[in-house]
């Protein structure tokens, strides 16, 4: 008997797949063999449309997830990634706060410049979004505990590529 896949589990597997692309781990290897029903599909928003976003985009196009919104201050990069992610069906934003306010977005990929990672993470937690944040989480070690505290306070999944976040001590 197959155990049903919850949205939270699927998000966790999706972010794990993105974090493990270098190792060649796929969602099917993680035990997800069939696409979930449409009501279990995770709608993703992407904040930051640079080089790293383009590398991760295929990971976030896995069965059970779809990109519904993208955000970047650079109009050219925004248009290019929007087209790669699905074209006109994907909403485009220049302000990440508007993307986070979109109720259709369940989770986000934060692939901005590093100095924006913590602020975007905190705002995503406050907006009730789970997320995958590109490394490093923070530019200065003193910023990290604020992101971790927000994840705990708002009970959000904040996934990343490295275990360095575990070194931050949050009271």
**pLDDT tens, 53-69?**
999 898 887 889 999 99
Question: What mean pLDDT is predicted for residues 117-139?
Answer: 94
Residue 1 lies in a domain: no
150-164 pLDDT, tens per residue? Answer: 999 999 999 887 654
Q: What is the DSSP secondary structure assignment for residue 60, as one 8-state letter?
A: G
Mean pLDDT on 113-141: 93
3-state per-residue secondary structure call for 64-96:
CEEEEEEECCCHHHHHHHHHHHCHHHCEEECCH
When the pLDDT of each residue in the chain is averaged and rounded to a whole number, the result is 81
In a domain? residue 68: yes
Q: SS3 for 101?
A: helix
Residue 169 lies in a domain: no
In a domain? residue 17: yes
In-domain check, residue 168: no
Do the domain assignments include residue 167?
no
Which pLDDT score is estimated for 19? 46
CATH assignment at residue 118:
3.40.50.720
Domain annotation covers residue 170: no
pTM of the predicted protein model:
0.74
Give the separation between CA 72 and CA 27, rounded to whole angstroms: 28
Please indicate, yes or no, if residue 57 is contained in any of the structural domains.
yes
Three-state secondary structure call for residue 121:
helix
Number of domains into which the chain is organized: 1
Predicted confidence (pLDDT) per residue in 80-92, tens digit: 999 999 999 999 9
Range of the structural domain that residue 66 is part of: 7-21+36-162
């Amino acid at each position: 008997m197959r155990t049903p896949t919850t949205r939270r589990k699927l998000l966790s597997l999706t972010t794990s797949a993105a974090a493990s692309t270098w190792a060649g781990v796929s969602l099917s290897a993680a035990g997800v063999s069939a696409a979930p029903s449409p009501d279990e599909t995770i709608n993703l928003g992407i904040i930051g449309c640079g080089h790293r976003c383009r590398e991760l985009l295929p990971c976030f196009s896995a069965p059970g997830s779809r990109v519904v919104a993208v955000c970047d201050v650079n109009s050219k990069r925004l248009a290019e990634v929007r087209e790669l992610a699905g074209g006109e069906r994907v909403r485009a934003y220049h302000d990440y706060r508007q993307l986070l306010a979109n109720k259709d977005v369940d989770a986000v990929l934060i692939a901005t410049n590093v100095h924006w990672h913590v602020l975007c993470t905190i705002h995503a937690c406050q907006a009730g979004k789970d997320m995958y944040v590109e490394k490093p989480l923070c530019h200065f070690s003193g910023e990290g505990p604020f992101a971790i505290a927000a994840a705990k306070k708002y009970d959000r999944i904040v996934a990343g590529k490295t275990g360095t976040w575990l070194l931050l001590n949050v009271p």
